[in-house]
Structure 1
Amino acid sequence: MLKNLEKFKIPRYEQVRWHILTLLTESKWDENTPLPTEQEFADKYQVSVGTVRKAVEKLVDDGVLTKYQGRGTFLKRPDFESSLLRFFKFRDKDACYATPTGVVKKVMVIEGIEEINEKLDIGKNKALIYIERVRIIEGKVSLSEKIWLPKSRYQAFVNLEPEDFENLLYPFYYTKCGQFVSSAVETLFFVANHVDPYLDNNEQENLVKVCRIAKSLEGEPIEYRESYGMAEKFSYEVNII
């Protein structure tokens, strides 16, 4: 099964790593299902267990897989606890930390936007799916989000209505379209003179804008998102140990 890659003189473990990655993406691997054992992979690809182990360890280091002692190796979702959005003070009326609920307000197919398409690494005229979404705590909007997706990857969304979307988008991307978010890059800006229709702010109230490019297992961009929140609700705090 590795013959197609042998002519490129790629190290054996890298060939196995590539095939495991292909298995995960093409089969829509369930993150709750353990991967085959190293011995099973070794038999499948006709390589040594040591070669498979090196390939798996590389995927663990890359953040694609995670190992649980006694349970096996699993597909890993990114840990968004390190997201810049964590610095917004999401609190309920009792001043306790609260997880916002995501509600999609608008979804539509639009023509390509050169700047957005460039971020998604697709042709400038390629169609997009555009989503407007809010994050709500106790009936009040805490974040306003604009999301752009390559239409070619999310065909199943074309005929969906806003109410068809689930609270959490990334698992929904995977179950509906097979698009697994493995990592993301975020950039933060402070924005002035921007009125957001969902935050109901005025021009004198500054906003924080967090731009995110989410990537697939192969490292390809599959979502570009802009999240807006009130600057007064943003507090940057880091513990240095």
Structure 2
Amino acid sequence: MLPLASDTRLPRYQQLRDHLLAQIANNRWHPGEAIPTEAALATEFDLSVGTVRKAIDALVAEGVLERQQGRGTFIRRPQFQSSLFRFFRFEAVNGERVVPMSRILGMNVVAAPSAVAQALGLAPAADVIHLQRLRLLDAQPVLAEDIWLPRQPFKLLLETDLDSKGPLLYPIYEQVCGQVVAAAEETLTAEAVDQVHGRLLQVPAGSPIVVIERLARDYAGKPLEWRRSRGHAQHFRYRIDIR
């Protein structure tokens, strides 16, 4: 039997849920990997299978785990790239969706601006890594991104050639730093582009652009990344199914 790191006033299934979530966040199991069976977990924690099942059910409902018929229960790997196409239409000539190429313009350690420190839950002016990235479609800039990361968990990125590892950052966070993005919150606004980002996007200052702010978290809810993406209004789209 292992002690459950949780508030002992909570029901046992809730304590187990909290304990399993902490272990997932600490990479005991990796995204896409199966967790032990309910019977094995019941033995490990000296709990009934019914109690274990309630804890697993809670994590499935929260989207942390997913059950696969006949195979077991797995750590769910979120698919964040779909959000790019929810707000922007990036297509090849034949109409096929394409992921814009990525070009890192700069990566520096800076003192966190107040909004960044607040979003990431850091002390004022704490060290953060600031990434500036341009996304291109057919060699034309379509997104300009400012990305901030807590320095300590992501310090290995400072020694990494990000452009050589492809256009998606979250797999790089996982492979290089062991940091897994499990969920994110996005806010969408519109604004007139300033001169700096107008030059990056190759549009006149004052042109309308769409701004998406994203706060990404790990499985335990800890903030990992805050980014602001500015995109051409001509590529913007919004779709929702109402039933």
Same fold (TM over 0.5): yes
* In structure 1, distance between residues paired with 2:9 and 2:80: 37
* In structure 2, distance between residues paired with 1:169 and 1:7: 35
Provide the residue aligned with 1:48 in structure 2: 48
- Cα deviation code 1:52-93 (max 9, x no counterpart): 111111111111111111111111122436636522111112
* In structure 1, distance between residues paired with 2:26 and 2:41: 17
> Which SS does the other structure have where 2:201 is aligned?
coil
Provide the residue aligned with 2:18 in structure 1: 18
Kept in 2, the 8 Å contact 1:84–1:186? The answer is no
Kept in 2, the 8 Å contact 1:134–1:144? The answer is yes
* In structure 1, distance between residues paired with 2:121 and 2:235: 33
Kept in 1, the 8 Å contact 2:188–2:211? The answer is yes
* In structure 2, distance between residues paired with 1:28 and 1:163: 29
* In structure 2, distance between residues paired with 1:201 and 1:28: 47
How far apart are 1:4 and its partner, in Å?
Answer: 5.6
How far apart are 1:122 and its partner, in Å?
Answer: 0.8
* In structure 2, distance between residues paired with 1:96 and 1:27: 36
Provide the residue aligned with 2:64 in structure 1: 64
Rate the CA distance shift 1:120–1:85 in 2: closer, same or farther, 3 A. farther
Q: 1:214 and 2:216 equivalent?
A: yes
- Cα deviation code 1:7-26 (max 9, x no counterpart): 73221011111221122222
Say how many residue pairs are matched: 241
Kept in 1, the 8 Å contact 2:107–2:129? The answer is yes
Kept in 2, the 8 Å contact 1:2–1:45? The answer is yes
Instruction: Please say which of residues 164-173 and 124-133 is displaced more in the overlay.
Output: 164-173
Rate the CA distance shift 1:222–1:32 in 2: closer, same or farther, 3 A. same
Letter in 2 for 1:122: L
* In structure 1, distance between residues paired with 2:84 and 2:170: 17
Moved segments of 4+, more than 4 Å: 4-7
Rate the CA distance shift 1:116–1:6 in 2: closer, same or farther, 3 A. closer
Kept in 1, the 8 Å contact 2:8–2:15? The answer is no
* In structure 1, distance between residues paired with 2:37 and 2:180: 22
Instruction: Please say which of residues 136-145 and 3-12 is displaced more in the overlay.
Output: 3-12
Provide the residue aligned with 1:142 in structure 2: 142
Kept in 1, the 8 Å contact 2:5–2:19? The answer is no
Letter in 1 for 2:87: F
Instruction: Please say which of residues 39-48 and 161-170 is displaced more in the overlay.
Output: 161-170
* TM-score, length basis structure 1: 0.91
Provide the residue aligned with 2:188 in structure 1: 188
Kept in 1, the 8 Å contact 2:183–2:217? The answer is yes
Rate the CA distance shift 1:206–1:51 in 2: closer, same or farther, 3 A. same
Rate the CA distance shift 1:223–1:5 in 2: closer, same or farther, 3 A. closer
Provide the residue aligned with 1:96 in structure 2: 96
> Which SS does the other structure have where 1:222 is aligned?
strand
> Which SS does the other structure have where 1:83 is aligned?
helix
* In structure 2, distance between residues paired with 1:86 and 1:7: 39
Rate the CA distance shift 1:190–1:216 in 2: closer, same or farther, 3 A. same
Kept in 2, the 8 Å contact 1:133–1:144? The answer is yes
* TM-score, length basis structure 2: 0.90
How far apart are 1:170 and its partner, in Å?
Answer: 1.0
Kept in 2, the 8 Å contact 1:88–1:234? The answer is yes
Letter in 2 for 1:21: L
* In structure 2, distance between residues paired with 1:120 and 1:96: 36
* In structure 2, distance between residues paired with 1:193 and 1:23: 43
Kept in 1, the 8 Å contact 2:119–2:226? The answer is yes
Kept in 1, the 8 Å contact 2:6–2:18? The answer is no
* In structure 2, distance between residues paired with 1:165 and 1:97: 21
Rate the CA distance shift 1:7–1:103 in 2: closer, same or farther, 3 A. closer
Provide the residue aligned with 1:9 in structure 2: 9
CA RMSD of aligned residues (A): 2.1
Instruction: Please say which of residues 159-168 and 12-21 is displaced more in the overlay.
Output: 159-168
Provide the residue aligned with 1:156 in structure 2: 156
